[in-house]
Structure 1
Amino acid sequence: METKDMPVGKGGQAPVRPKKVFITGANGFIGRSLLNRYQQQGCEVRGMDLQADPSMDVVAGDLTKPDTWKQHAKGCDLFINTAAVVSLAAEWETYRAISVQGVRHALDAAIAGGAKRFIHFSSIAAMGPDYEDGADETAPVTIGDTYLYGVAKGASEHAVLAAHASGEINCTIIRPGDVYGPGSRAWLIEPLKMARAGQLLLPNKGEGIFTPVYIDDLLDGTMLAAGLKEGSGQIFILWGGEPVPCRTFFGHHWRWAGKKGAPPSIPLFAALKLTHGISLLNRKLKRKGEVTPDTMLMFARKGGFSGKKASDRLGFEPKVSFDEGIRRSEVWLREQGEIA
């Protein structure tokens, strides 16, 4: 495999290249992308996921049962935790077991394995759906009995920052924007399926704000945060810097599905009532589904974020514009046979 150079910040910031990297959630969109990128840097990379992949040195396991995989992380100097509940429809017990207690298990595995840096993937959802436009890393995390995905992410950050503050291990937290690009199920494949089925619904005329970050830019920012001393003990929001109305982002899926016009929309209050009923029905029938009130709240967000901290401290600067990212995504969807 051809070795590529590490990313360099706009101010010349040059991150240290790790020798050995361990990644949880290594078969997921972000996890696999990181695995491939670090391999391209000449690093030895191992991982864990629910399903093993011996060809990529990924063993089977989950965050709730660390004894089945923690030895695989031994000797890795960089530990990256991407494993999480990727859903806005799970029960609190599931979020707590994986996104809170599971993160503590990951920290323990990293410490026992001798890792020098622990990178934790949180989410912009930790700030809830009603943050102010231009919110930065000092914005409060969300609490309460709604938007539980974000509540759990905020709680996971607490566990990581506590480990750093007590001197257990050097930690960094990444809050990605809405990550898309070739390989994305959450923001390419699944919305396309919903559009085909006529189930893609947006609140408030689709005027809510989507905050995309192209996968390659997220990888650059993560490697800068992981390899620079300026990343130690910090939270970084990494996104593309271009707020996009939801009707614009998902309008592409609507078009790819062969539909005319724009995805249907109803007022937020009506969308919340409708999706609440759908969620109750799904639970009664034990059927999975992401059409939930929390999804509608997410699609009704009112603004973007500040990227100043990542820019100033890491030299992070997104390189892929939204238009270019969508173009590349469409090419990939055609190559996969998802669209004609």
Structure 2
Amino acid sequence: MNTSKQNASILLTGATGFVGQGILKQALLQSIDVCCVSRKAMQMISGTTGNMRNILMPELAPDTDWSAALSGISTVIHCAARVHVMEETSADPLTLFRRVNVAATLNLARQATLAGVRQFIFISSVKVNGEQTTPGQPYTEECSPQPEDAYGISKYEAELALLELGRNTGMAITIIRPPLVYGPGVRANFLSLLQSVRRGIPLPLASIHNQRSFIYLDNLVSLVLCCLDNPKANNQIFLASDGHDLSTTELLQACATALDVPSRLIPFPAKLLSLAASLIGKKSMADRLCQSLQVDISKTKQVLDWVPPYTVAQGLLATVKNIKTS
């Protein structure tokens, strides 16, 4: 029987992050009690009915003592991580990623089992699967993981360690692998693209015929909370997306529609774009714009009886709301 979410008590790490903030707000709106772990003090979200407890923690480390935070907790939702960075400066990034994303994660999970936590929900990444797909051949949960960078490798190693811990202790492990997440407050490359479209900057991206999966923040939050205290989610890996893939050209056109501005895209062969980007040291950026990365969420929908509650158009409208006035 599915335990009522009304009685759930969550430990949420990364509560001030982009995804963590979304989970926190929706959980409190659903009257779920949340213990937030953050580097800085957090304010209660107005209009919510769940109880919020805030524990300050300077860093996520392999030797962190979680005893105070885990008291009375039924489920851990682990969003905190050393995140993927575009311009890595460390000479040994894998060691740094492993310290936070593997060792520190496993330390939390081990202490969670001792504290009687029933479920550990781990926000992983599609980068565990790899960096690109052939159009029409999306990743599934059955695909052999092929992480390429230090971030993806560390997330995969954390998944393996958590699943083994679950088998040995009985704590239910739920792993969610989202692709790029967008929504109000999105930053980095997605924000840069939105700003370029809003300003009417001509972009040579009218001839990109790839297919990429994305997920709107509130869709991801819906999926995470669907897994909460759900026996169907126990010891499962789920891929996540909006369920509607777009080419880079289609994405930019959809962004222009949401922003209510003309789409100023210039036809330019994708192969020449990749070549030009390579010559100026921007090959990785061109790859993300031109290559495909699709995920199949059939298992996620079937096992959990879940569908993304928001369309891409709705997600983009919410995303650009503040950008239009900035």
Greater mean deviation of Cα atoms: 197-206 or 217-226: 197-206
**Contact 1:49/1:59, CA 8 A, preserved across alignment:** yes
Q: Which residue of 1 aligns with 2:278?
A: 273
1:77 to 2:74 alignment: yes
Q: Which residue of 2 aligns with 1:212?
A: 214
**Contact 2:254/2:313, CA 8 A, preserved across alignment:** no
**In structure 2, how many angstroms separate the alpha carbons of the residues matched to 1:157 and 1:204?**
38
**Contact 1:48/1:62, CA 8 A, preserved across alignment:** no
Amino acid at match of 2:301: S
What whole-Å deviation, never above 9, does each CA across 1:64-113 have from its counterpart, x for those lacking one? 25536552222211101011223243422222222222221221232243
User: Counterparts in 2 of 1:234-313, with a 5 A limit?
Assistant: 234-251=236-253, 261-262=264-265, 267=271, 269-270=274-275, 273-274=278-279, 277=281, 293-313=283-303
Amino acid at match of 2:117: A
Describe the shift of the 1:93–1:223 C-alpha distance in structure 2 as closer, same or farther (beyond 3 A). same
Greater mean deviation of Cα atoms: 126-135 or 248-257: 248-257
Deviation at 1:299, TM superposition (A): 3.4
Structure 1: give runs of 5+ residues left out of the alignment: 1-12, 278-291
Describe the shift of the 1:84–1:260 C-alpha distance in structure 2 as closer, same or farther (beyond 3 A). same
Structure 2: give runs of 5+ residues left out of the alignment: 45-51
Describe the shift of the 1:271–1:79 C-alpha distance in structure 2 as closer, same or farther (beyond 3 A). farther
Describe the shift of the 1:308–1:254 C-alpha distance in structure 2 as closer, same or farther (beyond 3 A). closer
Describe the shift of the 1:246–1:316 C-alpha distance in structure 2 as closer, same or farther (beyond 3 A). same
* Matched pairs, number: 307
Deviation at 1:218, TM superposition (A): 1.4
Describe the shift of the 1:210–1:134 C-alpha distance in structure 2 as closer, same or farther (beyond 3 A). closer
Q: Which residue of 2 aligns with 1:19?
A: 8
Deviation at 1:233, TM superposition (A): 0.5
**Contact 2:35/2:69, CA 8 A, preserved across alignment:** yes
Deviation at 1:203, TM superposition (A): 8.2
1:122 to 2:124 alignment: yes
Q: What TM-score does the superposition give when structure 1 sets the normalisation length?
A: 0.77
Task: Tell me the percent identity.
Answer: 21
Q: Which residue of 1 aligns with 2:164?
A: 162
**Contact 1:240/1:318, CA 8 A, preserved across alignment:** yes
User: Counterparts in 2 of 1:16-165, with a 5 A limit?
Assistant: 16-17=4-5, 18-53=7-42, 55=44, 57-64=54-61, 66-67=63-64, 70-89=67-86, 90=88, 91-132=93-134, 133-143=137-147, 146-165=148-167
**Contact 1:225/1:231, CA 8 A, preserved across alignment:** yes
Q: What TM-score does the superposition give when structure 2 sets the normalisation length?
A: 0.80
Query: In angstroms, what is the RMSD of aligned CA positions?
Result: 3.3
Amino acid at match of 1:261: R
1:318 to 2:316 alignment: no
